[in-house]
């Protein structure tokens, strides 16, 4: 099933993201997480893809088991960084063999420990090129990433939106946003995208702040801004992990409630493989 069909229904779609365990951890550790998350009956579950393709095999296997064992549609991440077109063709063929119908097409981050990595020397420089290839060579449902606060490598929001338009025009069915902590960023972004002719569903991606140190690293890596109310919470509970977790759950719940009230087509929760906290948020907002 193409996931975009879910967004043609009246009820907002709950979707979740998980990531494969590190290569030195048993693969089975992810399935205890999935046992709990699937009880929330999400419309789909996305599975991330390691930098430089280091967890690609696990991504495909986990996505396949989500569909076969749990009866839930998976969205397999596919990054093109450090991949040739021949390698991408092989990955797409493998996904099709596993019965996976939907991909999240991303450029991806440069491989770790490669400070001289040059995107201009790659066969794929941009996600739009991957999307176009996947659309021309297969019948996948294709999602892509959007950045309400702007891509960290793009200096102007206008240019970033023009780049997003290229991705959408290459064959994207729907978009999932990068994390943000101020819903006004999302609402403004959607308005600007619509004005530019981007009419596909734009799904807000919500990242619950459950750990003060973790969120600082996450913001450093992705370039997202942190609004004053959340910054005060992080400062207040920096040395109180339990308090930070409770405050983070409440903050994320308020974000989701506001989004649902505004009529978003769905909400995508970045779970960080923490089913207990994600379940609390879902129950708080009645999804």
Residues involved in catalysis: 17
Sign of the four-CA dihedral 69, 210, 106, 261: positive
Neighbouring C-alpha atoms within 13 Å toward the C-beta of 269: 29
User: Using CA atoms, how far apart are residues 163 and 168, in angstroms rounded to an integer?
Assistant: 9
Under 8 Å CB-to-CB from 209, ≥6 apart: which residues?
Answer: 181, 215, 230, 233, 234, 244, 247, 248, 251, 252
Residues 6+ positions from 264 with CB-CB distance below 8 Å: 12, 203, 204
Instruction: For helices 85-97 and 56-70, give the axis angle rounded to 10 degrees.
Output: 20
């Amino acid at each position: 099933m193409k996931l975009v069909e879910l967004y043609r229904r009246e009820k907002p779609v709950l979707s979740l993201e998980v990531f494969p365990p590190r290569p030195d951890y048993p693969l089975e550790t992810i399935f205890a997480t999935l046992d709990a998350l699937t009880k929330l009956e999400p419309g789909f579950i996305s599975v991330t893809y390691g930098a430089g393709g280091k967890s690609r095999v696990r991504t495909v296997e986990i996505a396949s088991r989500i569909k076969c064992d749990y009866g839930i549609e998976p969205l397999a991440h596919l990054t093109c960084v450090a991949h040739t077109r021949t390698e991408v063709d092989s990955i797409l063929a493998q996904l099709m063999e596993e019965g996976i119908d939907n991909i999240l097409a991303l450029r991806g981050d440069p491989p770790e420990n490669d400070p001289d990595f040059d995107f201009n020397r790659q066969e794929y420089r941009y996600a739009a090129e991957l999307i176009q290839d996947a659309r021309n060579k297969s019948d996948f449902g294709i999602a892509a990433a959007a950045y309400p606060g702007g891509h960290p490598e793009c200096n102007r929001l206008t240019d970033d939106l023009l780049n997003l338009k290229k991705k959408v025009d290459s064959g994207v069915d729907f978009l999932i946003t990068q994390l943000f902590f101020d819903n006004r960023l999302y609402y403004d972004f959607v308005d600007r995208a619509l004005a530019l002719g981007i009419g596909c569903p734009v799904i807000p991606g919500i990242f619950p702040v459950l750990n003060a140190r973790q969120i600082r690293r996450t913001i450093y890596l992705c370039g997202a801004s942190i609004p004053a109310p959340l910054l005060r919470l992080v400062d207040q509970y920096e040395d109180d992990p339990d308090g930070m977790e409770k405050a983070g759950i409440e903050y994320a719940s308020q974000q989701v409630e506001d989004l649902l009230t505004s009529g978003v087509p769905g909400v995508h929760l970045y779970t960080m493989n923490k089913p207990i906290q994600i379940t609390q948020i879902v129950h708080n907002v009645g999804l």
